[in-house]
Amino acid sequence: MSSHARVPSAAHAGLASPAQVTFSPAQLAEVRRLQGLYPDPRAALLPVLHMAQDTFGYVSLEVEEYVAGLFALSPAHVHEVVTFYTLYFQTPKGRHVVAVCHNLSCHLAGARAIIDHLEARLGVTVGETTDDGRVTLQSVECLCACEHAPMMQVDERYEFDLTPEKVDRILERLR
Amino acid sequence: MPKLTINGREVEVPAGTNLIEAARALGVEVPHYCYHPGLSIAGQCRLCMVDIEKTPRPTIACNTLAADGMVVLTETERVKETRRSIMEFHLINHPLDCPVCDQAGECWLQIYYMRHGLYDPRMTDEKVHKPKAVPLGPHVILDAERCILCSRCVRFCDEVTGTGELGIFHRGDQSEIGLFPGQELANKYSANVVDICPVGALTERDFRFAVRVWYLDVTKSVCPGCARGCNVEVHVNRRRPHHNEGRRVARLKPRFNADVNKWWICDAGRYGFKAVDDKTRLREPFRREAGTVTDASWDEAIAAVAGALERYAPDEVGVLASPRMANEDLFALRRVLERRGIRRVAFRVPPAVDGDQDEILIRADKNPNARGAELLGLDGDAAALLAAARARQVKCLWIFDHDLLASAWPEALVLGALGAVETLVWVGANANATSERAHWVLPAAAWVEREGTYTNFEGRVQRLRQAVEPLGQALPEWEILGRVLEALGAGARPPRAERWFRELAAATPAFAGLSYQAIGDGGQMVRA
Amino acid sequence: MTAEKLLMRNFDRADSHTLEAYRATGGYTAWPKAQALDPAAIVEEIKQSNLRGLGGAGFPTGTKWSFIPKNHAGPVYLVINADEGEPGTFKDRYLLERDPHALIEGMLVAARAIRSARGFVYIRGEYVEPWRRFAAAVREAYDAGYLGRGFDVVVHRGAGAYICGEETGLIASLEGKKGWPKLKPPFPAIKGAFGAPTIVNNVETICHVPHIINRGAAWFAALGTKTQGGTRMYSVSGRVKRPGVYEASVAITLRQLIYDLAGGVTGNGRLKAVVPGGSSAAILRADEIDVTLDVDGLRNAGTMAGSAGVIVMDETVSIPEALMVVARFYAHESCGQCTPCRESTGWIYKMCHRIVEGRGTKDDLDKILDVARRGAGTTICAFYDGAVGPYISYIEKFRSEFEALIPT
């Protein structure tokens, strides 16, 4: 559901080049703190991958290898984790991620029309990022805010009770 | 020890035995894909369902331990129907490419479909497409569409080698085994994943399209690649000699031995058989005089060797035996030495580079029978022997198998010794730089062409068996040495390897009580 | 029916998520009482209350707690399943955002009952705001000395995978792996997170615990049916006038929930079908809604209470389209571990998609039914059985609607 048919270059998304894939000393201390929270340090893998994505923009293969090193894991096992979960981006994503729920309640409330509207407005199809690197559009499974269907997640925020007009207002805020 | 009933028959198994193994103990096969006795339980394939009394529905046998009083049925209608369903699930996205699949003939999808499937296919939608013919490393090639995601290969790399190269990426029907992009499956045991792959997803690059498996004949033997003595099967292509580029040995497969190699062999051992059909193989005895090579008959060659042994004083003869020779060969050699009173004997030639060793199977000593040579009393100072040759104290040097010019010894010292002796006799299967300098070269049968035993580093005596006829006129060393003994007037030689072993066992305390029958397929320990 | 609200009693307060508000409304009064109780007595109290797991499986909570081996020497973990993901369900989001301290107090009591010194709260990755709210409440609870004195709480974020709501998938994910459910046996209570005895409970389930300690098992049990005590939070969405979360007894009927609490049906106003317990629950027809919503009531009606996510469909809704949407979900979320689920969720989605597009064939419907039935009960976890619920019920109950889409 979240394939990336068209991938913008890393440069315009303001992302670190592979050579810069290292955490700062403060971040490394945070990695160690997270690892210490669990009986097995590996349990901090998901949180550290979140951190890595926030830092480097997306979880590139270089990031996977780097994180694998921090956990003494084989890169293949980190790759398994990264490809299993939907929230890790393996290719550069837009500055904003717009994820429209297409599951049952939102479907009943017209999610398809919202997605169509977004595709038209952004000039991309689901899974793609706008050419200016501003927005990656996704259509996702239930975000568990069905009482406000149709709904979507814009970056960290849930946006409820969508109409095309409301979607337009939300898009205007995204720079 | 729990006692349970399977299909109406009682069986007692060690505590901790699962129902697949418990059934196996009764000769009852519970079909399965993901379960492998050498790996952790995954429980993914869902094929090994059996009925257990008082459980509401079929249960996977791999994750169920035998319990006292358990009543298990493996062939109820419900179980058979479940198996048929699971077979269909396995084949939904599996390509129908058996005609071009190397696994055909030893594919557990084919075998189980015939035994437990036989439904009418009804998947008419587009199958999921995944990468095909992807080389994973030097030995293994992947067809992800054929993969049934049993995870055996992943678990092998995690649990046996600890290298973790493989993973299952993505999820749902997009799940796919593979490597971290850019990495290779190049661990020292990589090709074992081909053996444990129940389908045609992982196949051997070396064996790919070489010969159909149903043309292969199988012989139980022992890998000569190091002192571990991993049990192997030698797969020989006799029936389609024009296939496999004319090579007789098509592949080696590990053979289970709980005490030696479990289910595995290393890649070096697996692909170490190439010398057997190599062009360096020696086919006829010959002599070399002033750089001119002349073919000789065995009678001439034996007479020449025996003549040299008699011509020189015992102290003028040096023998460099090989830890690649079998126990029978070494014992026959000892008989020759005893007959002539020859004392200068050794077998350890230091390798040019130290062998690698690990905690799994691989031993630094790349010879299969150093322990046997020790136990048969052939240990000596090889460097001193060489020095004696250089000093012309040794006039006749008899070398088995070794290439001293590929050893750790300085080339000048070796050449000095080889050049100083009056008679250099060399016995072995493949020509090398040392045999190139011998006055007499006697072709030996390769390990797959003969019977014999090796004693591994732990003292386990194991049999190698003849899989193919010797090339040309090559003979097993025990036969060559037996003929020399006869020529030396020792009387009739034992006609078979087994007879040599009987004599060996009677004469050598460490081997007392052993026989080919007792050694069997799994080997027997020498006396401590 | 409009019973006293327990879980949602503070939801109207703007500051309901704060320690101050929680305390002001009687919060953290159960914990001192629980501290005076023997752990076994707490377990017994929960058993007597008939509290049942509200995440989906409906297993008796006290009984689950009693599975922790007695006199276990090593660590025991309490894991809270806040990986809310069942389509149609949104109650835990409210609890995390609006009453996080109820969860913390419930965890304190539960941890004492199972002798756990460390708890993990696994929150789905998409729930950023609920995670912030809950993490802030945990900090408050540390500062106030509720946490950090014999019991610690680690807040853990998931990364997007429905299967991590399955308790062993959650454990695997918590351990830093793919969310592949684990083989049972061993059950988590014997060998769970990090190899230690572990209890995994849903957010809402644990939020009930302080009330039970404060007011007694008998009181709680009396709120519900004979086999299930208390209230629960119903998530109502779809074609209703007032979608939202409603707290009511487990003994109310589906009709009462739809018409009395949620204000009735929208669309053309005529009810066609209801999903009563999240998308994994078998669908009910309009004439099947006079059932009580407790675990056993819905089980007897051939469906399940699940997570109490109620999705209402009026007559204008296309059931085949709805099934296609649901089938897409299961195909996307199948973890890929067990063959039947991995291979058939995708296939069934392809068939549903074809049917909706008018490319179905005569035998597709029976094929889907047969494949679903054959796969049911053959996998490691209940995910596939959850998919089978809609596959079978949508087609069986609305077959003519599917047939109408298939070219003759």
Residue of C nearest to B123 (CA): C347
Is the pLDDT at B280 greater than 60, yes or no?
Answer: yes
Which tokens hold the place of B426? 């060399």
Cβ neighbours of B90 in C, within 8 Å: 339, 343
Cβ of A75 within 8 Å of Cβ of B171? The answer is no
Single-letter amino acid, residue B49: M
Residue A73 and residue A64 in contact, taking contact as beta carbons nearer than 8 Å: no
Cβ neighbours of B168 in C, within 8 Å: 178, 336
Q: Which domains does chain A have, with CATH numbers?
A: 18-84 (1.10.10), 96-173 (3.40.30.10)
| Interatomic CA distance for residues B28 and B75, integer angstroms | 10
Name the residue facing B164 among A64, A65, A77 (closest C-beta). Answer: A77
List chain B domain ranges: 3-91, 98-277, 286-525
Q: Which of A51, A80, A104 to mutate to test the interface with C (most CBs of C within 10 A)?
A: A104
Cβ neighbours of B164 in A, within 8 Å: 73-74, 76-77
Question: Looking at residue B272, what is its pLDDT?
Answer: 94
Is the pLDDT at B204 greater than 70, yes or no?
Answer: yes
Q: Which fold has domain B3-91?
A: Ubiquitin-like (UB roll) (3.10.20)
Name the residue facing A153 among C126, C156, C335 (closest C-beta). Answer: C126
Please report the ipTM that was assigned to this predicted complex: 0.96
Q: Smallest CA–CA separation between B177 and chain A, in Å?
A: 9
Cβ of A74 within 8 Å of Cβ of B171? The answer is no
**DSSP assigned state of C152:** E
First to last CA, chain A: 25
- The pTM of this model reads 0.95
Residue of B nearest to A83 (CA): B170
Which tokens hold the place of B161? 């080698």
Question: Is B286-525 in the same CATH topology as B3-91?
Answer: no
Residue B325 and residue B427 in contact, taking contact as beta carbons nearer than 8 Å: no
Q: Smallest CA–CA separation between B287 and chain A, in Å?
A: 57
Residue C134 and residue C100 in contact, taking contact as beta carbons nearer than 8 Å: yes
Element (H, E) at A69: helix A61-71
Cβ of C378 within 8 Å of Cβ of B149? The answer is no
Name the residue facing C179 among A84, A109, A149 (closest C-beta). Answer: A84
Cβ of B85 within 8 Å of Cβ of C335? The answer is no
Q: Smallest CA–CA separation between A37 and chain C, in Å?
A: 7
CA distances from A102 to A144, B220, C350 (A): 11, 60, 17
Residue B120 and residue B126 in contact, taking contact as beta carbons nearer than 8 Å: no
Name the residue facing C317 among A45, A103, A108 (closest C-beta). Answer: A108
Question: Looking at residue A7, what is its pLDDT?
Answer: 39
| Interatomic CA distance for residues C23 and A48, integer angstroms | 34
User: What is the average pLDDT across B492-496?
Assistant: 95
Residue B147 and residue B159 in contact, taking contact as beta carbons nearer than 8 Å: no
Residue A134 and residue A96 in contact, taking contact as beta carbons nearer than 8 Å: yes
Does domain B286-525 sit in CATH 3.40.50.740?
yes
**Is residue C343 less than 8 Å (CB to CB) from chain B?**
yes
Mean per-residue pLDDT over chain A, rounded:
91
Residue of B nearest to A90 (CA): B170
Max Cα-Cα span within chain A: 50
Kindly give, in sequence order, each residue whose CB lies less than 8 Å from that of residue C142, ignoring residues fewer than 6 positions away: C148
Phi-psi region of C32 (alpha: psi -120 to 50; beta: other; left: phi over 0): alpha
| Interatomic CA distance for residues B455 and B432, integer angstroms | 25
Question: Looking at residue B118, what is its pLDDT?
Answer: 86
CA distances from A174 to A134, A151, B473, B511, B518 (A): 8, 17, 85, 84, 81
Class of domain B98-277: alpha beta
Residue C48 and residue C217 in contact, taking contact as beta carbons nearer than 8 Å: yes
Four-CA torsion C376, C380, C381, C385, nearest 10 degrees:
0
**Is residue C332 less than 8 Å (CB to CB) from chain B?**
yes
| Interatomic CA distance for residues C105 and C94, integer angstroms | 16
Name the residue facing A146 among C156, C235, C326 (closest C-beta). Answer: C235
Cβ neighbours of C375 in B, within 8 Å: 85, 89
Cα three-residue angle B164-B168-B174, rounded to 5 degrees? 165
Question: Looking at residue A11, what is its pLDDT?
Answer: 40
Is the pLDDT at A16 greater than 70, yes or no?
Answer: no
Q: Smallest CA–CA separation between B18 and chain A, in Å?
A: 28
Residue of B nearest to A80 (CA): B169
Residue of C nearest to B85 (CA): C374
- Each residue of A23-61: pLDDT tens digit? 999 999 999 999 999 999 999 999 999 999 999 999 999
| Interatomic CA distance for residues B250 and B257, integer angstroms | 22
Question: Looking at residue A101, what is its pLDDT?
Answer: 98
| Interatomic CA distance for residues B347 and B441, integer angstroms | 18
Is the pLDDT at A6 greater than 50, yes or no?
Answer: no
Q: Smallest CA–CA separation between C236 and chain A, in Å?
A: 7
Question: Looking at residue A1, what is its pLDDT?
Answer: 37
- Each residue of C247-278: pLDDT tens digit? 999 999 999 999 999 999 999 999 999 999 99
Question: Looking at residue A10, what is its pLDDT?
Answer: 41
Single-letter amino acid, residue C254: L
Kindly give, in sequence order, each residue whose CB lies less than 8 Å from that of residue B489, ignoring residues fewer than 6 positions away: none
Cβ of B170 within 8 Å of Cβ of A79? The answer is no
| Interatomic CA distance for residues C122 and A82, integer angstroms | 18
CA distances from C387 to B139, C20, C348 (A): 41, 43, 10
Cβ of B89 within 8 Å of Cβ of C379? The answer is no
Cβ of B122 within 8 Å of Cβ of C344? The answer is no
Strand blocks (E) in C303-389: 309-314
Q: Smallest CA–CA separation between A87 and chain C, in Å?
A: 5
Is the pLDDT at B443 greater than 50, yes or no?
Answer: yes
Is the pLDDT at A8 greater than 50, yes or no?
Answer: no
Cβ of A74 within 8 Å of Cβ of B163? The answer is yes
Strand blocks (E) in B314-382: 317-320, 344-346
Q: For the packed helices B477-487 and B298-311, what is the interaxial angle rounded to 10 degrees?
A: 60
Mean per-residue pLDDT over chain B, rounded:
96
Is the pLDDT at B233 greater than 70, yes or no?
Answer: yes
Cβ neighbours of A40 in C, within 8 Å: 175-176, 194
SS3 B273: helix
State which residues of chain C have pLDDT below 70.
1-3
**Is residue C187 less than 8 Å (CB to CB) from chain B?**
no
Is the pLDDT at B248 greater than 50, yes or no?
Answer: yes
Cβ neighbours of A79 in B, within 8 Å: 167, 169, 180-181
Q: Which domains does chain C have, with CATH numbers?
A: 19-222 (3.40.50.11540), 231-314 (3.10.20.600), 319-403 (1.20.1440.230)
Cβ of A79 within 8 Å of Cβ of B167? The answer is yes
Question: Looking at residue A2, what is its pLDDT?
Answer: 39
SS3 B525: strand
Cβ of B169 within 8 Å of Cβ of A83? The answer is yes
Does C185 sit behind a cis peptide bond, omega within 30 degrees of 0 on the bond before it?
A: yes
Is the pLDDT at B195 greater than 50, yes or no?
Answer: yes
**Is residue C191 less than 8 Å (CB to CB) from chain B?**
no
Cβ neighbours of C75 in A, within 8 Å: 39
Question: Looking at residue A19, what is its pLDDT?
Answer: 56
SS3 C31: helix
SS3 B192: helix
Chains touching B by CB (3 or more pairs below 8 Å): A, C
Kindly give, in sequence order, each residue whose CB lies less than 8 Å from that of residue B498, ignoring residues fewer than 6 positions away: B451, B515, B516
Residue A54's CB is within 10 A of a number of other CB atoms, namely 9
Residue A59 and residue A51 in contact, taking contact as beta carbons nearer than 8 Å: no
Q: Find the chain B residues whose C-beta atoms sit closer than 8 A to any C-beta of C.
A: 41-47, 49, 57-58, 63, 82, 85-86, 88-90, 92-93, 122-126, 128, 148-149, 168, 170-175
Which tokens hold the place of C400? 């003519």
Cβ neighbours of B166 in A, within 8 Å: 76
User: What is the average pLDDT across B94-106?
Assistant: 93
Max Cα-Cα span within chain B: 86
Is the pLDDT at A18 greater than 60, yes or no?
Answer: no
| Interatomic CA distance for residues C75 and B318, integer angstroms | 69
First to last CA, chain C: 50
Question: Looking at residue B15, what is its pLDDT?
Answer: 97
Label residue A71 by pLDDT band (50, 70, 90): very high
Residue B36 and residue B152 in contact, taking contact as beta carbons nearer than 8 Å: yes
